Structure 1
Amino acid sequence: MPASDHPTGYGSIPTAGADWQAWIRHLDDRLARQGIAPGRMVILLPYLQLVEPARRAWAAAHPSGFGPRFETTRSWASALAPWWPAPTDVSGDMARDSLVAEAMVARVTRGSADPALRTVLASRLVDAARSVAPLAAARPPAERVAWAEAQREALGQAVPQGPHWESLVASLALAWAGNASYPTDVLWTGVAAPGAVADRLWVLQGFQHDPLGQALGVHWGERAELSDPFGLLAGGAGAAPEVLTLQSCADAEEEAQRTAATVVARINQGRFPLALVANDRRQTRRVSAMLSGAGVSLCDETGWKLSTTHAAAQVMAVLRAADPRARMDDVLDLLKQGAAWPPAQVEALELAAREAGVSAWKAAVRHTASAPLIPEGFAALLESLQAARPLERWLDALRAALQASGLWERLAADAAGQGTIRALRLDEGASEELLQVGMAVAESGRPGARLGLSAFSAWVRDVLEGASFKPVSDPDAQVVILPLSQLLGRGFSTVVMPGCDELTLDPDRGQQSPWTAAQCEQLGLPGRAALMEAQAQAWQAALRAPQVDILWRRQEGGEPLSPSPWVMALPGFDDRQAAANTFCAPRPLSPVAVAHPLPIAPDLMPSALSASAYQDLRDCPYRFFAMRQLRLSEADELEAEPDQRDLGNWLHAVLRRFHEERGDGRPGRDTDTRRLDQIGEEMATEMGLQVDEGGAGFLPYQAVWPALREGYLDWLAGHEGGDGRPGPMFARAEAELSANLPPWRLYGKLDRIDQQHSPEGPLPLVIDYKTESRDKTNRRVKDPFEDTQLAFYAALLPDETLRAAYLSITDGRSASGREGATHLVEQPFVLQAREHLREGIVQDLGRVAAGHALPALGEGMVCEYCAARGLCRKDFWSAP
């Protein structure tokens, strides 16, 4: 556990106090020389997190009296007057901005672009408008429209025209930003005029200059001063930390572990508050999870996208399950998350779907195995979300679905869930705001068009992706997670920076921009050189901390990585790296031999035995122990695409229905062909294998169906008496039988039983369908005493005389010249094999019940696909 006996908040300035004190002395001198009362000065800081340290620094130097007003442009404006965006403003809220952007694109394209292109253009328009919004906000409202027009003309003349759609987006973005109002517009009014609330304005720029701060400095004229705080608050460039450690990590996981260990070690040394720099947000979330588990208190100033929270995943689970083409996995995901449905019923539905191989929700609704297990009202709930409707009605329907599923209460009780509800306007009446926006941007003055489920889901996804979530943090947190650019003036005891590799911390990368370099230069947006300079200054500010720990990984995705050029430029890079303390204490591990398992379980004998269970015992006794005595099993996959197993199940179902309807009649070849085709389509629909239900992978099997059908009908004609003599006739399909073999009971399901007339009476013919290769089927009957399946099935029948065979159904490509596409592969010695099997079952099960060990054999192809391989630890056995 980290130490907790050093009470100091993250807002305090224990180590950078000298920097702040020097800046306060500089401010005192300036006020004295100009004869300005401190209370009549406004000091604009680059970001909000500096306000409280600045106020504390002033209070420490001046315990009494009024101090300057420390603000950011946004906080100063909000203190002077509240602001609410107009319907067409660039609000920074994706729920509103996306509607405005889509309406603007639709108006100028007039249906000439396809919907997918319009969606892309709207997304790019939002990005472009938000990037130029700070430039527009830096213009007085009365001059903003003229500024936008001038910029549009200048871009058209000075910047080479790109593709038509890019030019359209640029023009729309400037028009949108130029005609919008902003929260800081009050700073241009008489309320904030020079001499009204203050006599002097001091603007402290950050690493990237604020256009509004610079514009306000010009607006205030001689009463304003713009200052670069880098020399004052960071102690100047080129300084080095007192202690610097470099840690090279093998991969991302080692980097996360070493980062967490370093943070804990520094806290235990009393070196906090500590800054954890979020160079790589994914890696930072991994580290923060480790630190939370170690009891470290965190304050995350960066937050993360709302779309990555569990609350957002719950909302998207509802929409994914409602899709008419939803997979069974998506529906089960919703059922498991919702509190409205009994877990036992959901588990039973999942088990039935897996056993039946039902992967599509539409098929599950009709399948006889899964349909009865669907919770009452659930299918109707999903259907209620499939009709097109306006956006505000979609929000009402989504809220109702969340309430019906039991997810609404969970969202309301969770901070991220509350943020999700606010971002999507899911509260009662909250959608009225979006309705007003839609009416304002629609040419007809009425709400926008009706949205389908896919379009609404895309809108929800964009809103959640565009919103951020910051969890409630402890104000006295030991660790503050923040971006590199916000280390300026913070005064942390220690700075830990993971992700300092050549990709994550690339000095030459800059920031992604929707504008080209030429457009950025014309508009006044920071170019590549300015962004690189700002990043370099932030790096230098990080190195001003007394203790700095730098980490990077040596590979990512199998590709080698080097440290960032800034890291390699540090003095003594190689020596520091070799001597770095990783804070990960090594633990000696002694290898332990893994022996072959020899379990003994006479008390776990199964009460009944199937053919596959006995085959497990013959293949590997340990497999019998794991799968039959411990009753462990793999969960069947809900495959999105059909496979060979689905073909076999489908063919079994088709032949069963065909013969049960046909009985012992012989309607003729044409009738049989038509009926087989009809049954094939019906069964494919019921099992969710049709193309219109997402089962495009079944097309190859449908392509070979004519060959399978014709080959089967050719065989059936000869089987039923093609030479003039009566042949075996169909009796039963999927026959569930059992037999006693004291003290054991045998059970099984036979694919098919035919009856053949003989002088001694009806002679049963047991048939098991096989869709495997012909050679594999022929090998099954080569040694009658090694084949378990037919002998076991024969043991389930009381008849003294019977026949047993595999029916090999292929498309004819694997058949020899004398065999048809469908061929009966009979076991001629099935009666002898049956008696041998009965004796073997009694002897083998008797040994298990008597306490004989069940060793893992670890031989043959059985091990390659054994579900118990991980349990027997075959891959870790030690050599004798």
Structure 2
Amino acid sequence: MTPVSSIREAGSPAAGEGHPSMRQWARWIAHIDQAMQDRAVPASRVVVLVPYAQLMDAGRKAWAASHPSGFAPRFESSRNWAASLRPFLPGPGDLSMDMARDSLMAAALIERVAPARADAALRAIMVGRLVEAARQLAPLAAALPPEERLAWAEPLRASLAPAASSLYWEGLFATLALTWVSASAYATDVLWAPMAQPGVHADLLVVLQGFQEDPLAMALAARWGEQSLVLSLGEMDDGASGVPGLHACGDAEDEAQRAAACVIAQVNHGHVPVALVANDRLLTRRVSAMLHRVGVSVRDETGWKLSTTHAAAQLMSVLRAVDARASMDDVLDLLKQAKAWPEAQVQQLEQLAREAGVSRWKAALQHERLAAVIPEGLPAWLEGLQVGRPLTMWLGDLAAALKACGLWTSFESDPAGQQLVQTLRLGEGAAMELAGVTQAVEGSTRGGARLSLSAFTAWVRDVLEGASFMPRSAGDAAVVVLPMAQLLGRPFAATVVPGCDETHLSPSPEPPGDWTTAQRELLGLSSREALAQASASAWRATLALPHLDLLWRTQERGEAVLPSAWVQALPVQPGVDPRDLRPLTPATQPRPTPSASDVLPESLSASAYQDLRDCPYRFFALRQLRLVEAAELEAEPDQRDMGNWLHAVLRAFHEQRGDARPGRDVDQAWLDRLADETATAMGLNAGEGGAGFLPYQAVWPALREGYLDWLAGFEATDDRPGPRFVQAEAERVANAGPWKLYGKLDRIDAQHSPEGPIPFVIDYKTESRSKTHDRVKEPLEDTQLAFYAALLPDDNLRAAYLSITDKRGDGGKDGPTWLVEQPDVLMAREHLQAGLAHDMARVAAGQPMPALGEGRVCDFCAARGLCRKDFWTPA
């Protein structure tokens, strides 16, 4: 990305008199001067009402430029003017635009008309929709004198009643929102009071109207009558100041990088401040991050949801961790962010949890090894926030918990954390404000109804979602992030508008809320046509600005994206990509051929030697360097878990059964009981993981019956005694030359023979039957059974795979459980012992261990990222 070379002093007068905004201000000021002369009103007795607060400073500067001496009018927004006349404190039932208060009032209103008719999740959605509907109606109610609002709402409430029963809830939300806003007081109500009437503090009210009419401003202008003047902000120059640069980008990341480069190029040319239009909030945040990285100061006037800040993520990690159903990941996430517990102890707890496969916190408390390393006091701290309590008690206890775990200190040093504490009323005594709201809406002094942890968490989430965080900026910034509609009247030296695609810049924007067209017309809400006209006016005004760059993406996640219809109507004038292109020569990536004669394993397992035979580099990485993948805590049960479970069930079954032959019914009952007990012990059918294990439990009856059918034939004693179970999970150690071998055999039986009992090694397989048959086709290629045979000193033995599936074998010839024996296992054992000694001698001598990169071995190899097979240079 182009670095910032020489940034001109932010706030310097880059925009002169020729700027469209300055010319427009000159016309507005001329109208104001004429109105002052016609009415003989001095400037000190004039109030100029602007549509948004950021325009107040621009108006003062424009007036000072045209009237260097003398008094100036008061440039005010409606809220700022009202606050200067009288501070406002909302009543308990008022719509306050504060989600912490409004959600309580909305929940109380819903409870009155629909008590206990929905679950907690649905009621949370209903509360959010009611607050949203009320906020959309609030500007209409605030535009009426307080004494006229109830009369205004009464006929509308009757008209909004649904005619069909299927629209009951829609009508309920509409009438509740209308009732709420008509009974509320607003911060701007003082503008209807005697102290704000003509002749008290001002004799002339000038309303500068934006692209959309402000109901309150127009109502005040009507009230002031002849002592008011309405000027349209939308009357801009039709001609553009220059030809905009059009930038078609590849995808969202390319668009963000190019937008940041356009901003930096304008700054380097001294065109400051630069306006960055926030059509796409996600994209704009990405651009802002890039600008911060290269040292460009940015002031964001749009803000973003408080819930997306780091402080909010830390707070939600606490509420997730204290849940009785918390996962191990939830608790570890909290422990890593909080500073109250030793980092080394937290790392040890995570390592043991991954090794043991413990995914639920409750299971960790009952696990012997994990319980020994759990930080002292942590279980009691977590359990202390699990019991329901009134909202005010929740806030006090949550603040105490944050202080105890060390997160409170980080909140105090973080602007977002400070706003979070203020928004949620976590400060000392701040919760009493919400207690007053609760008492008023519930008619009780008991502190409010008890909220469960899940209900309190939902309330916190809604409050954080409804609050907007605007980071502070010291002094003037080189870049200002703002909506397109707020470009008017502000003399930015350059403008960059990303997100000019058909999705984020539609000529016909969707009206907010769930109101129908008839309801919008009845209530006086902006229609789709009015919104489209306002958007078109904002677009025309934007095109008149100098040094303008328009950007859009041509594809999104593989789908083609068109530019906005407004962009398509412009003359084709491709902008120059300001990014510097650097030629990069790709470096060759040969196959790795390491050697590590000084890092030899102390002993070899069957799987380790199989790695050496499959790929020497895999043996080097996984066995010599001992690099292993960290186990997932929240992984769903898979085929591997199925195999481990089945192995454990059969081991317990045969150890309990021994040489007994209790009969089919008893064997079936034992297997069913052991299957459930083993699944519970392994944590497969408990908590949220149980759903993932259901497919394997569904095939269990078929597996059980197939195994018992095979076992009955295997143990048949018509002609001679059948094999006798000896041991399961048998650990054995042997030597092959100087190398030590070790392994754990699934099962060893004793086979009757004229020379006496001989070992019968059986290895369980739950893979496809064809794959199991392929293992024994080439005896010298089958490492596992030959290796297991090498662990036994007997001169004569048998070895086989026991294939266990829920269906018959290929072609229907084999049963669901089938013994696949390796007849040449003794010959394979001899060759394996000799080959293993030869191969390990070469490794010890320092022979290269190349990555082969062939066959299915590479598809799921844990060392693939190390050998970088996907980047090898072709020979």
Superposed pair shares fold, TM > 0.5? yes
Deviation at 1:13, TM superposition (A): 5.5
Contact 1:45/1:71 (<8 A) preserved: yes
Partner residue in 2 for 1:134: 139
Q: Deviations over 1:813-843 (max 9, x none)?
A: 2288775543443334333323322222221
Partner residue in 2 for 1:6: 8
Deviation at 1:879, TM superposition (A): 3.5
- Give the Cα–Cα distance (whole angstroms) in 2 for the partners of residues 366 and 274 of structure 1: 59
- TM-score, length basis structure 1: 0.92
Q: 1:220 aligns with which of 195, 220, 224?
A: 224
Partner residue in 2 for 1:249: 249
Deviation at 1:247, TM superposition (A): 0.7
Deviation at 1:494, TM superposition (A): 0.4
Q: Deviations over 1:416-472 (max 9, x none)?
A: 222222222233433322222122112556555433333332222211111111111
Deviation at 1:642, TM superposition (A): 1.9
Q: 1:179 aligns with which of 167, 183, 186?
A: 183
Contact 1:366/1:686 (<8 A) preserved: no
Partner residue in 2 for 1:196: 200
Q: Deviations over 1:457-500 (max 9, x none)?
A: 22222111111111112332111111101101111010000110
Contact 1:329/1:359 (<8 A) preserved: yes
Q: 2:104 aligns with which of 68, 78, 99?
A: 99
Deviation at 1:79, TM superposition (A): 1.5
- Give the Cα–Cα distance (whole angstroms) in 2 for the partners of residues 763 and 161 of structure 1: 80
Query: Which residue identity does 1:869 align to in structure 2?
Result: R
User: What is the SS of the residue equivalent to 2:577?
Assistant: coil
Does residue 863 (structure 1) correspond to residue 858 (structure 2)? The answer is yes
Aligned in 2, Cα 1:652/1:479: closer, same or farther, shift over 3 Å? Answer: same
- Give the Cα–Cα distance (whole angstroms) in 1 for the partners of residues 87 and 670 of structure 2: 75
Partner residue in 2 for 1:813: 808
Q: 2:771 aligns with which of 776, 796, 811?
A: 776
Partner residue in 2 for 1:529: 529
Aligned in 2, Cα 1:123/1:810: closer, same or farther, shift over 3 Å? Answer: same
Contact 1:85/1:181 (<8 A) preserved: yes
Aligned in 2, Cα 1:510/1:33: closer, same or farther, shift over 3 Å? Answer: same
- Give the Cα–Cα distance (whole angstroms) in 1 for the partners of residues 139 and 426 of structure 2: 30
Deviation at 1:787, TM superposition (A): 1.4
Contact 1:297/1:474 (<8 A) preserved: no
When the two chains are superposed, the root-mean-square deviation of aligned CA atoms in Å is 3.0
Does residue 410 (structure 1) correspond to residue 405 (structure 2)? The answer is no
Contact 2:808/2:814 (<8 A) preserved: no
Partner residue in 1 for 2:78: 73
Query: Which residue identity does 1:181 align to in structure 2?
Result: A
- TM-score, length basis structure 2: 0.92
- Give the Cα–Cα distance (whole angstroms) in 1 for the partners of residues 718 and 738 of structure 2: 46
Aligned in 2, Cα 1:807/1:779: closer, same or farther, shift over 3 Å? Answer: same
Moved more, 591-600 or 558-567: 591-600
The 5-angstrom pairing of residues 307-346 of structure 1 reads 307-346=307-346
Partner residue in 1 for 2:210: 206
Partner residue in 1 for 2:551: 551
- Give the Cα–Cα distance (whole angstroms) in 2 for the partners of residues 702 and 83 of structure 1: 63
Q: 1:681 aligns with which of 676, 679, 683?
A: 676
Partner residue in 2 for 1:391: 391
Deviation at 1:755, TM superposition (A): 5.0
Moved more, 159-168 or 185-194: 159-168
Partner residue in 2 for 1:260: 260
Query: Which residue identity does 2:340 align to in structure 1?
Result: A
Deviation at 1:802, TM superposition (A): 4.3
Deviation at 1:676, TM superposition (A): 2.6
Query: Which residue identity does 2:546 align to in structure 1?
Result: P
Moved more, 287-296 or 594-603: 594-603
Aligned in 2, Cα 1:271/1:856: closer, same or farther, shift over 3 Å? Answer: same
Deviation at 1:222, TM superposition (A): 1.9
Does residue 455 (structure 1) correspond to residue 449 (structure 2)? The answer is no
Q: 2:153 aligns with which of 148, 157, 160?
A: 148
Q: Deviations over 1:18-71 (max 9, x none)?
A: 443454444334334432222121111111111122222333444444322111
Contact 1:809/1:823 (<8 A) preserved: yes
Partner residue in 2 for 1:37: 42
Contact 1:808/1:823 (<8 A) preserved: yes
Aligned in 2, Cα 1:646/1:398: closer, same or farther, shift over 3 Å? Answer: farther
- Give the Cα–Cα distance (whole angstroms) in 2 for the partners of residues 162 and 660 of structure 1: 63
- Give the Cα–Cα distance (whole angstroms) in 1 for the partners of residues 697 and 194 of structure 2: 78
- Give the Cα–Cα distance (whole angstroms) in 1 for the partners of residues 459 and 161 of structure 2: 32
Query: Which residue identity does 2:48 align to in structure 1?
Result: I
Aligned in 2, Cα 1:793/1:171: closer, same or farther, shift over 3 Å? Answer: same
* Aligned residues with identical type, % of pairs: 60
Aligned in 2, Cα 1:648/1:528: closer, same or farther, shift over 3 Å? Answer: same
Partner residue in 2 for 1:590: 585
Contact 2:707/2:804 (<8 A) preserved: yes
The 5-angstrom pairing of residues 491-506 of structure 1 reads 491-506=491-506
- Give the Cα–Cα distance (whole angstroms) in 2 for the partners of residues 381 and 775 of structure 1: 54
Aligned in 2, Cα 1:525/1:611: closer, same or farther, shift over 3 Å? Answer: same
Does residue 625 (structure 1) correspond to residue 630 (structure 2)? The answer is no
Contact 2:392/2:447 (<8 A) preserved: no
The 5-angstrom pairing of residues 783-862 of structure 1 reads 783-814=778-809, 820-862=815-857
Aligned in 2, Cα 1:611/1:587: closer, same or farther, shift over 3 Å? Answer: same
Query: Which residue identity does 1:9 align to in structure 2?
Result: G
Q: Deviations over 1:351-390 (max 9, x none)?
A: 4444454444444444566555544444444444444333
Aligned in 2, Cα 1:353/1:650: closer, same or farther, shift over 3 Å? Answer: farther
- Give the Cα–Cα distance (whole angstroms) in 1 for the partners of residues 812 and 161 of structure 2: 77
- Give the Cα–Cα distance (whole angstroms) in 1 for the partners of residues 811 and 528 of structure 2: 72
- Give the Cα–Cα distance (whole angstroms) in 1 for the partners of residues 68 and 152 of structure 2: 46
Deviation at 1:665, TM superposition (A): 5.3
Aligned in 2, Cα 1:630/1:409: closer, same or farther, shift over 3 Å? Answer: same
User: What is the SS of the residue equivalent to 1:586?
Assistant: coil
Deviation at 1:243, TM superposition (A): 4.4
Contact 1:302/1:483 (<8 A) preserved: yes
Q: 2:630 aligns with which of 635, 646, 652?
A: 635
Query: Which residue identity does 1:316 align to in structure 2?
Result: M
User: What is the SS of the residue equivalent to 1:657?
Assistant: helix
Runs of 4+ in 1 over 6 A off after TM superposition: 159-162, 757-762, 815-818
Aligned in 2, Cα 1:520/1:848: closer, same or farther, shift over 3 Å? Answer: same
Aligned in 2, Cα 1:449/1:659: closer, same or farther, shift over 3 Å? Answer: farther
Q: 1:610 aligns with which of 605, 610, 614?
A: 605
Q: 1:170 aligns with which of 165, 170, 174?
A: 174
User: What is the SS of the residue equivalent to 1:695?
Assistant: helix
Contact 1:691/1:699 (<8 A) preserved: no
Moved more, 620-629 or 636-645: 636-645
Deviation at 1:553, TM superposition (A): 1.0
Aligned in 2, Cα 1:357/1:723: closer, same or farther, shift over 3 Å? Answer: farther
User: What is the SS of the residue equivalent to 1:230?
Assistant: coil
Query: Which residue identity does 2:216 align to in structure 1?
Result: L
Contact 2:745/2:761 (<8 A) preserved: yes
Deviation at 1:144, TM superposition (A): 1.8
- Give the Cα–Cα distance (whole angstroms) in 1 for the partners of residues 716 and 34 of structure 2: 116
Aligned in 2, Cα 1:171/1:415: closer, same or farther, shift over 3 Å? Answer: same
User: What is the SS of the residue equivalent to 1:121?
Assistant: helix
- Give the Cα–Cα distance (whole angstroms) in 2 for the partners of residues 567 and 601 of structure 1: 62
User: What is the SS of the residue equivalent to 1:185?
Assistant: helix
- Give the Cα–Cα distance (whole angstroms) in 1 for the partners of residues 763 and 347 of structure 2: 31
Does residue 82 (structure 1) correspond to residue 74 (structure 2)? The answer is no
Moved more, 647-656 or 594-603: 594-603
- Give the Cα–Cα distance (whole angstroms) in 1 for the partners of residues 165 and 790 of structure 2: 84
- Give the Cα–Cα distance (whole angstroms) in 2 for the partners of residues 811 and 647 of structure 1: 12
- Give the Cα–Cα distance (whole angstroms) in 2 for the partners of residues 726 and 414 of structure 1: 78
